[in-house]
Structure 1
C-alpha cells in the first residue's frame, strides 16, 4: 500500500524508474538503438512539459531555474548521453519527493501538536458520579469533567480536585510536570499525572488553549518564507553563468559534449529545496521550545531584528497585581472606596479590575450590582452603584469628571515603588480615593533584556497604558531607559511605526496590544495567559508564561536564517566548482548527473540542521557569555 501511495503521489518518478529499467534491459540485450530512442523520447517529453511551464512563468515575469534543467536534458539527448538525461529527469521529478521527506522531518514537532489534539472527554452529569463519554467538541463551559491518569485534558478548565500534576511540555516546552492546586487553570492539551482529577470546563474545544495553538501551527505549516524566493533572485545570474561557462567549454574544446557535461552539474535543486526545509525546521525547533512561529517570514524578520518594544503589565510583569494600600479622600472611608470600586470593576475585563474585586472579597465586602455600567477601553469603568455614579480608572479619566482628583491624591503614600500603580476612584463627581496595587517584574525579565542587548538589539522601549509613576518605577528596576506611559492602542501603533531601527519586535499580551502586535514587523504575544486577540494578531506566540522565550525566538530566527542561506550557498559553491571541473573534461555527463544528486543531498542535510542545536537559550553570538536564566517555579503560582 505504501508503494502504491507513493506511485500515485509521484507518477513521474515512477514512470522514470520504469523507463530507466527498460533502458537498461534493452542495453543488456544489445539493443542500444532502441534504448537510446526510448530514453531520449521520454526525456524530451518531460523537457517539453517543463518547458511549457517555464514559458508560462516567463510570460508572467517570473524567471525561474527550470531553464537550466530543460537545457541540460535537451543537450544530453543531443550529444547522445541519454542515460545522463534520465538521471536529470529523475533528479527533477524526485526533488519534490525529497523535499516532502525533508519537510516531513523538519515539521515533526508541528505535526506532533496537530496529531495530539484531544478527541474525547468524560462528563459527569449533575447529581451523578458515573461519567459519560462524549466527543471533546461536545463539551460546553460549566461541564464537570473527569480526567483519568495519563489522559489529555480535553478543554481549558479549573481544577476541582485538591491538587494535580500535569505535563505541559507539548504546550510550553517545560519538561517537568507542573503542580496545580484547586481553583487554578488547567490547559487543554496537557497530560494528567498518575491520579484522576476533576475539572470544570471554562471554554469549549474551539476556544481552548490547545486548539488555538493548533490553529497557529496550521497557519505556520502552510506559510512560506520570503527568503525562499531568494532562490529566484539567483536564477538569472546563475543561469547566465552556467550557460556561459558551458558555451566557453564547448568553444575552447570544440566538443559539444562538454556543453552537456557542464550543464548537468548546474541543476537547481539545492536552491529550490534547501531554504524551505531550513525554515520548516526552524519553526519546528521553535515549537519544541514552546514558541509558535506563524511562518518563515517571521523567522526572517526575527533574524534581522534591530529594536524591540515591550508592554508592561502581564509582559514585563507577572500581570497579577495585588492591592497593597487604600488612600481614601476626606469624607470617604477606605471600606467605602474599595467596595464601590470593586462593584464597578465587576463590569471590566482588565487585569486590575480582577485584583480590586479579589481584594474586596478577601475583606468580606458585599459587592453591589450596577444599574448601568460601561467600560472605556484602556481608561476605566463608569457605573451607577447603589444610586451613586462611580468612576474607576486612570487619573486623567477620573479627573475629567472629578476635577478635585489632583488635590492630595498622591500625598498619603508618595510615589509608587517598582511595579506599583494607582487606580483612581470618584463618586458623584468628587474624588473618593486611590487604590495602590503592586505588580512585580518577572524574575527573569531583566536577564532577558540583558540577553537581547548582547544579541545586538538596541535598548528596549516600554509602551504601556499605565501611569507614568508605575511605568517608570518598573522600568528603573529593569534598566529600561525609554518609557512611554498612559498610551492608548493607537498611541502604541504610532510609536512603533516611528521607531527608526527596523525590523522592530513588539511584545505584549492583552486585547489592547492586538493592534500594535499586528502593526509591528514582528509581533510576539505572551500566549499562555494573554488574550486570544493578541495571539491572533501576533506573528509568534509564546505558549509558556516565560519572557525569556523572546530572546530564544531571536536566536532561533538567526540560526535558521544562517542555515537557510548557508545551504543555498553550499549548493551554489559545490555546483560551480564541479561545473568548472566538468568544463575541463574531468567529469563525464553520467558521473556529473550522479554527483549532482550528492550535492542536493548535502544541501538538504545542511538545511535540516535547523531542527537541532540544543536549547535556544544557550545560543549566543560568538564570544558572548550566557547569563543565568531564572525560571518560574514549576509549581504554578496561585491565581487570584
Structure 2
C-alpha cells in the first residue's frame, strides 16, 4: 500500500490518466457513455496543450524535439473522434516518461548504492567517553570509535590491536581483510564483529569513499553525446511520419487515416532508448569496479583505437622488491640488509618499505638510529649502533665513501648503494614486478579492436624497452616529463586515445587524452580528478573491461533506437492502408515502447557478467615474469 502511494506521488500525471480512464469505463458501464467522449477529449487536449508549451520553448531555443509528433497525434485523434485512442496516446506519452524514470532508477542501482552508504556520523573519543559528531567535523589525528558492522567514516590507521574489515565496496575484494595496529583503513569499508578505534588521517572530504561518491555524483549527472544524436532523429522522423500520414489521408480521402498513422509515430523509443542504455552502462561499469564520468566517456571508449600506458604503478606494481644483496667484506648479506633496513625506517622513499619488508621476512631485528636525516630523492644517512650508515643513489653514497663502485645490473633492475663509516659496504638490487594480468589486458584490448599501443614513462630507455618487449607494446617513449606525455598523446593519429596512469604526474596527460583512465585504488589523487574513468580496484584488466562495456553500451543503445524506429515505421505503413484502427495502434505503440526499454536495459549486463564469472576463459589472466623498473633514487 505504501509503495503504491509513493508511485502515485512520483508519477501524478500517469495516475491521473489512469483515473480518468477508470472513470470513463464506469460511466460507459452505467449508461452515461455520452460523457466519456467529452471527458477523454478535454483531458487529452489539456495534456497536449501542456506538452505544446514545453515544445514551443524548445523550438525557440533551437531544439526541434520529438514531442511534436505526440502532440499532433493527440489533437488528430480528438478531431476525428477517436477519443479512446487520444487517451491511450496520453498514457503512452506520460507513461513513457514514467517508464524512463523507473528504468533509470533501476539502472542506477549500483551507482546510488555508493551515495546512500556514505557515512554521515562519527564517534569521536573524548577523554573516557564518545561524542557523536558529523563526519565533516572530524580532523586528522582524532581518535574515533567504529562499532561492529559500522562503516569506517574517514581514512585512518588502526589503533586497536587487530580488526577484520570488508573492503568490497572500495576494492572489490570479497574476502574480509585482516588488519593489525598501524595498518591503513579506508573510509567506506565495513567493520567486522568487534568495536575498534582508529586514528583519522584525513578529513571526510579528502577520504577515499567521499572522493568516490563525488565521482559517482558527477557520473550520474552526465548526458552522453549519443543521446543528443538520438534527438537529431527528430526532424527526419517527424517529417517522414507527417508525410506518410498526410499521404494516407490524401490517397484514402479519410482524415481518420491521418490519425491512425500518427498514433504509431509517437517518439518514445527515441527519447528513452539511449538514456536508459547509457545509465545502464555506467551502472554496469560501477559494478565492475570502474566509475565512468558520463555516457560520453562510454561512447569514446566504444570507438577507441589506441591505448597508452604509464609504466610504474600501471603496467608494473610500482613497489620494487629486493632480488639480491651484494655485500663487501667484512659484511654478510643479513648484516648489510639489517643496516640498510634500519636506516630506511627513517625514509619516505618507495624503496624503503621494500627493504624493511625483506629484512622482516628474513627475521632480521631492526635497530633504532641515534640520528637520521633524509636527502630527498637521493638517500638517507643514519647513525646506527655507533656507525654512520649511508644508503641511496651511487652519486650520493660516493660523496660519503670515495671507494664506492658501481655494480652490474640487468635491464629492469635498480641498485641501492651502501656505505658504512665512509667505506663502500656493498649494494642491494631490486626490481619492480610486472603485473601478472598486463599481457592478458593488452591481448583483450586487441580483441576489442584497440590495435595500437604505446608506453610513456619517466624511467630510463633501457628499462622501458625491456618492459615494452615483454608485453609487445609497439611504441615507447622514455624519460618523459608530464609535458612530454601530453605532447606525445596529442600527436597520435589513431584516435580516440585512452591513457591509463596512476600518479599525480599523469594528471595532465589523462586530461589531454580522449579518455583518461586513472588507477585510483590507492587513493583519489589529481589523476582520478582529471580522468574520464577511475578504476577502483588495483587491477589493470578493468581497462579492457571498461572498453568492452563501452562497446556493449553503444551497440545496445543504437540497437534499441533502431528497433523502435523500424517497428514504428512498419506499423505506420500497415496503418496507412487502414488495417490498424487508431485505438489498436495506440496500444501497439505501448508495446513498442516497452520493447525498446527492455532492449536498452540489456546494457546493465548482469547476465553477461555472470556468465563471464562462471566461464572466465576469455578474461583469463596470463601469468608473466616480472622484469621491471629502474629507480629515480
TM superposition score category, shorter chain reference: 0.7 to 0.9
Q: Does 1:417 align with 2:411?
A: yes
- Of stretches 5-14 and 302-311 in structure 1, the one that deviates more from structure 2 is 5-14
Partner of residue 435 from structure 2, selected from 439, 442, 460: 442
Distance 1:629 1:339 in 2: 34
The alignment's TM-score, normalised by the length of structure 2, stands at 0.83
- The CA distance in 1 between the partners of 2:372 and 2:181, in whole Å, is 27
Return the offset for 1:533: 1.0
Q: Is 2:539 the counterpart of 1:540?
A: no
How far, CA to CA, are the matches of 2:472 and 2:428 in structure 1? Answer: 26
In structure 1, what is the equivalent of residue 46 of structure 2?
A: 45
Task: Name the SS of the counterpart of 2:587 in structure 1.
Answer: helix
8 Å contact from structure 1 (residues 119, 135) kept in 2: yes
Rounded Cα–Cα distance in structure 2 between residues aligned with 1:590 and 1:235: 24
Moved more, 470-479 or 288-297: 470-479
Q: What residue number does 1:461 align with? A: 454
Q: Aligned partners of 1:82, 1:606: CA distance in 2, in Å?
A: 31
Write the distance in 2 (CA, Å) between the matches of 1:328 and 1:512: 35
CA contact (8 A) 1:155 1:188 kept: yes
Q: How far apart are residue 269 of structure 1 and its match?
A: 0.6
Q: Report if the CA contact (8 A) 1:618-1:626 is conserved.
A: no
Instruction: State the partner residue of 2:362.
Output: none
Aligned mates of 2:426, 2:622 — CA distance in 1: 38
Correspondence 1:348-363 to 2 at 5 A: 351=350
1:159-238 → structure 2 map (5 Å cutoff): 159-238=158-237
Q: Distance in 2 between matches of 1:32 and 1:515?
A: 70
Distance in 2 (alpha carbons) for counterparts of 1:48 and 1:116: 42
Match of 1:480 in 2: 473
Report the CA distance shift for 1:160/1:261 in structure 2 as closer, same or farther (over 3 A). Answer: same
* Aligned ranges 1:362-381 → 2 under 5 Å: 368-369=372-373
Residue 105 (structure 1) aligned with residue 97 (structure 2): no
Matched with 1:94 is 95
Count of residue pairs brought into register by the alignment: 599
SS of the equivalent of 2:473 reads coil
Structure 1 unaligned runs (5+)?
Answer: 427-431, 633-640
The answer to whether structure 1 residue 590 and structure 2 residue 586 are counterparts is no
- Aligned twin of 2:65: 64
1:557 maps to which residue? 550
Contact 1:546–1:631 (Cα < 8 Å) also in 2: no
Q: Whole-Å Cα distance in 1 between the matches of residues 321 and 189 of structure 2?
A: 28
- Alpha-carbon separation, structure 2, partners of 1:145 and 1:443: 38
SS at match of 2:618: coil
Check whether the contact 2:121–2:133 (CA below 8 A) recurs between aligned residues: yes
Partner residue of 2:509 out of 516, 529, 540: 516
1:461 alignment partner, SS class:
strand
Cα separation, partners in 2 of 1:423 and 1:384, compared to 1, 3 Å: closer
Partner of 2:620: 628
Calculate the TM-score normalised by the size of structure 1: 0.83
For 1:572, the equivalent position in structure 2 comes to: 565
1:245–1:352 distance in 2 versus 1, CA, 3 Å: farther
Q: 2:147·2:194 contact (CA, 8 Å) conserved in 1?
A: yes
Contact 2:439 2:622 in 1 (8 A): no
Within the candidate set 592, 599, 610, 1:599 is matched to 592
- SS of match in other structure, 2:148: coil
Taking a change above 3 Å as real, the CA distance of residues 592 and 617 of structure 1, as seen in their structure-2 partners, is: closer
Q: Give the match's secondary structure for 1:626.
A: helix
CA distance in 2, matches of 1:433, 1:468: 26
CA-to-aligned-CA distance 1:549-579 (integer Å, 9 cap, x gap): 1111111111111111111111111111111
Once the two structures are TM-superposed, the CA of residue 19 in structure 1 deviates from its matched residue by 3.5
Aligned to 1:321: 320
Residue pair 1:345, 1:356 contacting (<8 A) in 2 also: no
Q: Shift of the alpha carbon at 1:177? A: 2.4
Give 1:96 shift: 2.0
3-state SS of paired residue (1:547): coil
CA distance in structure 1 between the partners assigned to 2:29 and 2:623 by the alignment: 68
Per the alignment, residue 293 of structure 2 pairs with 294
Give runs of aligned pairs for residues 127-166 of structure 1, distance below 5 A: 128=128, 131-166=130-165
1:478-521 Cα distance to aligned partner (Å, 9 max, x none): 33232211111111111111111111111111111111111111
Instruction: Tell me how large the CA RMSD over aligned residues is.
Output: 4.0
**Separation in 2 of the partners of 1:36 and 1:391?**
92
- Which residue matches 2:490? 497
Residues 409 and 39 of structure 1, relative CA distance in 2, 3 Å threshold: farther
Matched with 1:638 is none
